[in-house]
């Protein structure tokens, strides 16, 4: 199992990079930079590439609606170049709340767009003249939709690699099936190892049956909050505000993917109540309702022996890369938590 770290996009980025530089020496495998309605992840990944030398860097994730497919491919090739072949392109749809509420772009056809984007990116990286006629993207633009002067072009630069790994953030069955079919990696969120197979097992198997063997095994990249020690139980509460936000506030009723996931895990009744409270502005009450059982199951919080057991449970569930977010009182403690996780991880 690989161990990596996910940067907090709302925190101090320079301080986060300093920690990654230190953790690179300790042996972490990957660092992931998220992008929401925060600073863009591209500039931060470029800065991180200049400060590190061995750790893999990944976007976690670039939303597909706010960049053209060719721009996504160009950006990935550029980050792979400045990092010396260490970049992984993480893409996802985000959700209607962010896409429509912050970017002002329509949230539509996530499955079709994702497949076409992956195909176009790989065409760009092979330095082919980009010619693509899909349902959602046409390159070059047809004459009847433009000036008629557009012609197929190829990337000017020679990428470090013609096959940059792609990971897709997916939650719904069809999205997960597509990911298992076409991507090198999968980035689910709020992963509960004991119940993951009940939620995603069938979709993963169906997608894997159509998978090109050249892609290799699917890299399952999962996030987990981390605190290791005999007196860290209260830090589970630190996770609850984010969970309440996602379960309750990331989308309207019926259009919240995270709420749907909690329901599939068996927490539907409390998820409904959290959503009602959050959307009515009663955020503190919503946070208080987040179940300890749900938080604990998705986290690595407790004594060393317990965390070792939880790491084994994630590995047994099929997780190959674990991205940890330390629940630390200070930077030094956060580094120690990650160092301990590295020592405890399954072989």
* pLDDT tens-digit map of 165-205: 999 999 999 999 999 999 999 999 999 999 999 999 999 99
Q: Is residue 83 predicted with pLDDT exceeding 90?
A: yes
Same domain, yes or no: 177 and 295: no
Using pLDDT thresholds of 50, 70 and 90, give the confidence band for residue 252.
confident
Three-state SS at 229: coil
Same domain, yes or no: 274 and 195: no
Same domain, yes or no: 136 and 235: no
CATH code where residue 70 lies: 3.20.20.30
Three-state SS at 40: coil
Nearest to 320 by CA among 233, 176, 229, 222: 222
Same domain, yes or no: 238 and 217: no
Q: Is residue 8 predicted with pLDDT exceeding 80?
A: no
Same domain, yes or no: 238 and 266: yes
Question: What pLDDT is attached to residue 182?
Answer: 98
Using pLDDT thresholds of 50, 70 and 90, give the confidence band for residue 75.
very high
Same domain, yes or no: 183 and 274: no
Lowest mean pLDDT among 21-30, 248-257, 298-307: 248-257
Same domain, yes or no: 138 and 277: no
Q: Provide the domain count of the chain.
A: 2
Same domain, yes or no: 179 and 266: no
- Note the helical H segments in the chain: 13-26, 41-51, 69-82, 96-98, 110-125, 173-182, 193-209, 236-244, 257-262, 268-279, 283-289, 292-297, 304-316, 331-344
Same domain, yes or no: 287 and 325: no
Q: Is residue 95 predicted with pLDDT exceeding 90?
A: no
Q: Is residue 160 predicted with pLDDT exceeding 90?
A: yes
Same domain, yes or no: 157 and 235: no
Task: Tell how far CA 107 is from the center of its chain.
Answer: 18
Same domain, yes or no: 29 and 147: yes
Same domain, yes or no: 239 and 219: no
Q: Are 4 and 52 in contact (CB under 8 A)?
A: no
Which domain, by its residues, includes 253?
231-302
Question: What pLDDT is attached to residue 7?
Answer: 86
Could you identify the residue written with the tokens 């772009």? 105
Question: What pLDDT is attached to residue 344?
Answer: 97
Q: What percent of the chain has pLDDT over 70?
A: 99
């Amino acid at each position: 199992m690989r161990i990596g770290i996910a940067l907090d996009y709302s925190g101090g980025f320079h301080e986060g990079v300093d920690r990654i530089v230190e953790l690179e020496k300790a042996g972490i495998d990957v660092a992931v930079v998220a992008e929401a309605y925060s600073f863009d992840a591209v500039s931060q990944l470029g800065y991180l590439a200049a400060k590190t030398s061995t750790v893999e860097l990944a976007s976690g994730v670039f939303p597909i609606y706010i960049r053209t497919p060719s721009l996504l491919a160009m950006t990935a090739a550029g980050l792979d170049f400045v990092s010396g072949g260490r970049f992984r392109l993480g893409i996802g749809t985000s959700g209607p709340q962010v896409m429509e509420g912050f970017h002002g772009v329509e949230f539509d056809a996530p499955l079709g767009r994702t497949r076409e984007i992956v195909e176009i990116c790989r065409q760009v990286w092979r330095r082919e003249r980009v010619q693509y006629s899909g349902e959602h993207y046409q390159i070059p633009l047809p004459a009847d939709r433009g000036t008629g002067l557009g012609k197929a072009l190829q990337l000017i630069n020679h990428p470090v690699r013609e096959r940059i790994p792609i990971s897709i953030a997916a939650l719904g069955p069809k999205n997960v099936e597509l990911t298992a079919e076409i991507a090198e990696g999968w980035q689910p969120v709020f992963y509960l190892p004991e119940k993951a197979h009940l939620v995603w097992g069938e979709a993963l198997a169906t997608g894997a049956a159509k998978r090109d063997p050249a892609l290799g095994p699917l890299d399952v990249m999962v996030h987990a909050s981390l605190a290791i020690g005999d007196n860290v139980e209260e830090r589970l509460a630190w996770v609850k505000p984010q969970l309440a936000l996602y379960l309750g506030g990331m989308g309207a009723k019926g259009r919240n993917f995270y709420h749907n996931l909690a329901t599939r895990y068996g927490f539907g009744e409390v998820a409904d109540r959290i959503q009602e409270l959050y959307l009515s502005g009663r955020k503190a009450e919503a946070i208080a309702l987040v179940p300890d059982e749900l938080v604990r199951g998705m986290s690595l919080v407790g004594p060393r022996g317990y965390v070792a057991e939880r790491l084994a449970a994630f590995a047994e569930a099929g997780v190959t890369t674990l991205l940890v977010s330390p629940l630390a009182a200070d930077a030094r403690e956060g580094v120690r938590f990650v160092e301990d996780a590295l020592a405890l991880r399954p072989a």
